[in-house]
């Protein structure tokens, strides 16, 4: 199904039958991706005395309860409510869902025990000036990102000036293949999150951060349209399913 999206008075053609899914699902498995020092998610049938909500055990339907944390257990999208004392809902922050986006790849650099994503490498990788969203693939791009347990690993993180640069480029929706844009153990400073949302000086309420994506190697760096799908939770964050579409008429 070919459709046209008009952005800044220019038509872009995409094929909706050719989605490129960059999400990591939540699974009832020890191999589910994980971070932030908590147990994995559970997906299990409801039980009531002798009744089990599972067709294979005699019920008329499968009737599961799912327990998870969106920040720890898969691809999720968050709003400024993640770091604010005031309550802000991702369901109210994200009200449109298609965005012109760029995919870039960066190789974090070592500095002591840390691995940094810097302003210079972001500036060198970005090729377009008018995107709303930026999806960042870190290198190397091993498939163990789909099931890695990140707690106590000191994952790569963005310097504050890298995030300020991304914000000043006009990026409203930032997507990364890490548990957080910030250092794992940073004493609660959250410099990257605060810089991206411009918190608390002039909060960007419509801006979102999506973490725990996975961009497979066959998806080349370049310009796409992003469909950022979210579950309807009144919460600071929600599980999400970002999907890219190649632009046919670039």
Please tell me the distance from the alpha carbon of residue 215 to that of residue 139, in angstroms, as a whole number.
11
pLDDT of residue 80: 98
Q: How far is CA 67 from the centre of its chain?
A: 20
* Model confidence, pTM: 0.97
Q: Which CATH architecture does the domain made up of 2-24+70-246 adopt? A: 3-Layer(bba) Sandwich (3.50)
How large is the C-alpha radius of gyration of the chain?
19
Indicate left, alpha or beta for 34 from its phi (over 0: left) and psi (-120 to 50: alpha).
Answer: beta
Instruction: Tell me: pLDDT of 250 over 90.
Output: no
Could you read off the pLDDT of 220-242 as tens digits, one per residue? 999 999 999 999 999 999 999 99
Q: Each residue of 63-89: pLDDT tens digit?
A: 999 999 999 999 999 999 999 999 999
User: Could you give the CA distance from residue 12 to residue 100 in angstroms, rounded to a whole number?
Assistant: 9
Residue whose C-alpha is closest to residue 209's, from 139, 136, 160, 153: 136
Domain ranges for the chain, please list them. Answer: 2-24+70-246
Q: How many helices (H) and strands (E) does the chain have?
A: 4, 17
From CA 173, how far away is CA 192, in angstroms rounded? Answer: 14
Let me know the angle formed at the C-alpha of 37 by 34 and 41, rounded to the nearest 5 degrees. Answer: 45
pLDDT for 222 equals 97
**Summary mean pLDDT of the chain:** 97
Quote the pLDDT of residue 45: 98
Retrieve residue 206's tokens: 């419509």
> What does the pLDDT average to over 184-190?
97
DSSP state of 49: T
Q: Which pLDDT belongs to residue 68?
A: 98
Torsion-angle region of residue 159: left (phi > 0), alpha (psi -120 to 50) or beta? beta
Residue whose entry in the numeric block shows the structure tokens 């060198």? 124
- At residue 166, φ and ψ (nearest 5 deg) are -60, -45
pLDDT at 167: 98
């Amino acid at each position: 199904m070919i459709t046209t999206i008009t952005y800044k008075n220019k038509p872009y053609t995409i094929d909706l039958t050719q989605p490129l899914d960059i999400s990591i699902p939540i699974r009832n498995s020890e191999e589910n991706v994980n971070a932030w020092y908590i147990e994995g998610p559970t997906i299990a049938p409801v039980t009531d005395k002798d009744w089990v909500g599972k067709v294979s055990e005699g019920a008329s339907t499968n009737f599961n309860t799912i327990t998870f944390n969106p920040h720890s257990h898969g691809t999720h999208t968050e709003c400024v409510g993640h770091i604010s004392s005031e309550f802000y809902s991702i369901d109210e922050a994200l009200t449109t869902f298609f965005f012109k986006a760029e995919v870039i790849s960066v190789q974090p650099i070592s500095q002591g025990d840390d691995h940094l994503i810097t302003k210079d490498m972001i500036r060198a990788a970005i090729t377009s000036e008018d995107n709303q969203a930026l999806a960042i693939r870190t290198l190397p791009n091993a498939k163990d990102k789909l099931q890695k347990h990140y707690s106590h690993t000191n994952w790569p993180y963005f310097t504050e000036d890298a995030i300020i640069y991304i914000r000043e480029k006009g990026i409203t929706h930032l997507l990364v293949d890490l548990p957080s844009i910030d250092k794992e153990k940073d004493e609660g400073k959250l410099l990257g999150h605060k810089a991206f949302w411009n918190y608390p000086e002039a909060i960007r309420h419509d801006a979102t951060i999506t973490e725990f994506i996975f961009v497979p190697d066959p998806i080349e760096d370049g310009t796409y349209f992003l469909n950022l799908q979210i579950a309807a939770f009144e919460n600071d964050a929600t599980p999400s399913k970002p999907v890219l579409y190649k632009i046919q008429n670039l």
